[in-house]
Structures are given as C-alpha cells and as structure tokens.
Amino acid sequence: MKHVRILAFAAMGLFSAGAAAEINLDLNPDNLAFASVAVGSPASQSAVIGITFNGSGDLDGNANNGSVTSVAILNDSAGFFSASQLCVGTAFSANSPADTCSVNVQCAPNAPGINATAQLEVQFERNNGSAADVETVDLACSSILAPVTPPVPGDSRAIPVLGGFGLGMLALLLGATGLLARSGRAGKR
C-alpha cells in the first residue's frame, strides 16, 4: 500500500499539547496487472482512494482536510488504458477516515501481442494550503488475440463446414467434373 504522509506538528498548532499524528492518503493496490486481455474484450479493475489516521494526539481535522483534484492515466505505452471515476472533488477528512472512493481502470487492447504499461495518478490537495500530494499506481496489460469461436448451427452468417462424408462427396463430384471436362475436350480434337 502506498502512502502520502501528511505530517502535522504541535508547533504548527495542529495538535494539542505537543502530540504528533499522521494522516495517510492511501491508493490501493500499488499496481493493477491485467493478464491476457483479448482484443475486443476489455477488462476492468478498481483502485481505492482513502485516508487513514495514524499516531497519537488530538487532530484538528480541518487543518488536513482536503480533496481529490485530479485522476489521470499517464505514460500509456499503447493507448489501452482508461479510467472512470467520481473521485475528483471528493473531500476527505481526518474526522472521517473510513471514507473512500473508487477509480475503475479499464484495459481495452486494440492489437494482440503487446505488453502495455501506464500509471494511474491521483492528486490530493489539503485545505491548509500545503503542496499537493500525488500518488501513482502502476498499470500493466498483456493483449492476446481473441479466441475464435465456432459458428452456431443455423446462423445465416456461418460458413458451412463439411464433415468427412461431405468432403468425400465433394471430391467425387470434382473428380467426375474433371473427367467430363477432359472427355469433352478429347472429342473436339
């Protein structure tokens, strides 16, 4: 689990009586790996954004409250990845550490045999004016050719398939046609 540590100290007036505490912005898991995704059959996984409160002392939740300001896919080596989410604008508070939001990441390959990589980046800005925190999750996706499914009998788009008997009959007809064609040419000479 990756953490962006937001440190608060009594000297800054964020805690009472010299106690220190820490808020962690969590982006979980550390990576999302999509194994063997078929072209034309996208796959999805989720990353969860949340915070945890660790340490001792009283926390002035207002000092470290903040919100997610950006969620983006970066460095997409093959253009396979996309993210959908409702996290931008979601507020997080040390007083409500169980709050979370999810980012749905999709791998949709458009060509087989490619091992694509990217990063999911989440930016979090605190209300106290300190610098934004940025977290990333590594993404990986291996693309494969979609499996070929046999035609469904009765499907008008299906290509007819001949069994052993049908192939034998086709061979006899082609052979007979060839003999007739040769005998017709022989009589014209």
- pTM metric for this prediction: 0.65
Is cis: bond before 29, omega within 30 of 0? yes
| Four-point Cα dihedral 151, 156, 159, 164, nearest 10 | 80
Distance CA 101, CA 59 (A): 23
Distance CA 52, CA 23 (A): 6
Cβ(117)–Cβ(75) below 8 Å: yes
Q: Which CATH class is domain 2-144?
A: mainly beta
Cβ(137)–Cβ(75) below 8 Å: no
Of 141, 138, 137, the C-alpha closest to 114 is 141
Collapse the DSSP code of 183 into the 3-class scheme (helix H, G, I; strand E, B; otherwise coil) and give the result: helix
Tens digits of pLDDT across the chain (189 residues): 443 332 322 223 333 344 444 455 678 898 999 989 999 999 999 999 887 655 544 455 555 678 889 999 999 999 999 999 989 998 887 777 778 899 999 999 999 999 999 999 999 887 777 777 888 999 999 999 988 777 777 766 655 666 677 777 777 888 777 766 777 665 555
If residue 185 lies in a helix (H) or strand (E), which one and from where to where? helix 164-188
Q: What is the pLDDT of residue 82?
A: 96
Cβ(95)–Cβ(60) below 8 Å: no
